Structure 1
Amino acid sequence: MTFNPNANISGGKASKRGRNTGIAVGGGVGVLALFLLSQFLGVDLTGLVGGGQQPAASDSSLEQCRTGADANENVECRMKGASASLERYWAAESTELGFDYVGPNDLILFDQATTTGCGNASSATGPFYCPPDQTIYIDVSFYDELRGRFGSSGGPLAEMYVIAHEWGHHVQSVLGILESTQDGQTGPASNAVRVELQADCFAGAWTANASQVPDESGVPFLQPITEAQYRDALSAAASVGDDRIQEATQGQVDPHSFTHGTSEQRTAWFKVGYEQGADACDTLNIPAENL
């Protein structure tokens, strides 16, 4: 999607973190948090555990990202603009759905490696939401990986879909869904897959409404979605399906180890959110054959 050039994105929650030189984390709580995140979101982070502690890196508030024009020109500003839109969307949508919404603490853009409330992470981790510190983390070089390795068509909406998906995990945290579904199970109908598909559905719901979400002055953050942009979002969802990733990385598909859902499922649930809204995103209580 394209931002309206005069939209005010300065209130978006996004920070740029300087590079950490190491990716080691000590034992105890850090290791436990890292393991719990792996179980929550189906991301294998255990390879990042090691000895020693790394100093925290400084954050900058991306003050240069002020307008929609900035977001259209720069990927980091685009992340800040997306966060501004998502925050206002969920503040309004939560009233419709009947729950008390509190936004994430931050969206951290990092370079290669960083410390988090879930332990240390690297670019190889991919984008993720960390429940203990209620923060979304992404190295924006991930978007190159999405296109070059996993075949996404790319584009601004594809990039924002990733943030909207992770924001969906924060909504699940607010609702208590992440905590209640943590059971360590994998497979096509596991809670891990259901949680991911719901986050895709939430992302679709935001996408459908994004051009109607205004800044504080009433200017919509984003222009109406085009058909090409919609296809880019579907391409991004498909590119991170378990079957697509396993085929690319292992040369074979193992459904018993699924944690995120197939490419077909991920695009299907994005469409459900886009066409029917966030209240249609109940992936947790439907029969396995309907996932």
Structure 2
Amino acid sequence: MTFNDDAKYSGKGVRKSGRRTGLAVGGGGLGLVAVVLLSQLLGVDLTGLLGGGTAGGGNQSETTALTGCYTGADADADVECRVGLTRDSLEDYWSEQAPAMGIGYASPTINLFIDSVDTGCGAATSAVGPFYCPADQLIYLDTAFYDTLRTEFGATAGPLAQLYVVGHEWGHHIQNLAGTFATADTSQTGPASDAVRVEVQADCFAGAWLGSATETTDADGVRLLDPITDAQIADALNAASAIGDDRIQEKTQGQVNPETWTHGSGEMRQRWFQAGYTNGAEACDTFAVADAEL
């Protein structure tokens, strides 16, 4: 188990969207994070999908609040409740850590959706995987992605790995607040590119949060998470490695081409996660290190 059974969910920061079928991806562009991850998932460059067009195929129901989630015991038993308490832990950590780093902080919202969703960055399907949209400052997640990690990428995708995925996307929100997206040159690819530096920094931010996550508390001061075990950390590292560029290229193309990397190798993603986990968010300036040290 991951969460303290007695911890209470705040009821804030997570919403659910209904189902829509027959979506055609298009419209105003999905944004860097979504495009890159979708290309990773399928092993090909899919940026051409982000041209003109609009979402179609029916109306999506209105969003609703996450319900039926009250305690850490609920989070250990239900994947959506797990996202809710993960949100509370991330909020507790970053509401203090971001200002300490000189970043003006505002909370993101997590949107749990099924199959497809309209976002401030355009229309997306579950094939995109989890992503952060800077335009509306929302994290979008279809929890079926965790099954994809297991079946398509061979990751164990246990509870802490699931927390890591949310923490990575929250890391992109911190980057957005810090102005990183505005200054990074994401037009280039390769192991030392800004695109990779953005992604491994988000891994590092996720590690930094998990390194302090057992100190985060609910509104009553009750700790949210139980102590994290070595086996759980190994599970998170397994997920980070499974979605490395080299692992995905080898699986989908049969060969590794570092010049096209946008997220970094599995080893890089693991190493930067560990850097944050061990040394905190201050160790996550991936833009300050030399190419050979990235």
TM (normalized to structure 2)? Answer: 0.91
1:83 aligns with 2:87: yes
Distance, in Å, in 2 between the alignment partners of 1:205 and 1:36 is: 23
Paired AA for residue 137 in structure 1: Y
8 Å Cα contact 1:23-1:48 kept in structure 2: no
Do the aligned partners of 2:186 and 2:193 also contact (CA within 8 Å) in 1?
no
Of the candidates 163, 176, 180, which is equivalent to residue 179 of structure 2? 176
The sequence identity of aligned pairs, in percent, is: 51
Distance 1:190 1:100 in 2: 26
Match of 2:272 among 263, 269, 276: 269
Alpha-carbon distance in 2 for matches of 1:35, 1:153: 28
1:97 is displaced (CA, Å) by: 1.8
* Residue of structure 2 equivalent to 1:195: 198
Which consecutive residues of structure 2, in runs of 5 or more, have no partner in the other structure? 40-45
Alignment-derived partner of residue 164 in structure 1: 167
Q: d(CA) in 1 for partners of 2:93 and 2:33?
A: 26
Q: Please report the RMSD computed on the Cα atoms of aligned residues, expressed in angstroms.
A: 1.9
In the TM superposition, what is the alpha-carbon distance from 1:62 to its structure 2 partner?
A: 1.2
In the TM superposition, what is the alpha-carbon distance from 1:39 to its structure 2 partner? 6.8
Q: Give the 3-state SS of the residue equivalent to 1:132 in structure 2.
A: coil
Map 1:1-291 to 2 at 5 A.
2-24=2-24, 30-31=27-28, 33-34=29-30, 44=46, 46-47=48-49, 51-54=53-56, 55-104=59-108, 106-291=109-294
The C-alpha deviation readout for 1:144-203, integer Å capped at 9, x for no partner, is 111111111221000010000000000000000011114411111100000000000000
2:259 aligned partner, one-letter code: H
1:47-73 CA-partner distances (Å, limit 9, x unpaired) = 265634444432121121121111010
Distance (whole Å) between structure 1 residues aligned to residue 31 and residue 174 of structure 2: 21
Partner Cα distance (1:41, 1:236) in 2: 14
| Alpha-carbon distance between aligned partners in 2 of 1:41 and 1:178, rounded to the nearest angstrom | 16
Deviates more, 1:214-223 or 1:179-188: 179-188
SS at match of 1:18: strand
Aligned residues: 286
Q: What is the aligned partner in structure 1 of residue 42 from structure 2?
A: none
Deviates more, 1:10-19 or 1:215-224: 10-19
- Cα distance, 1:209 vs structure 2: 0.5
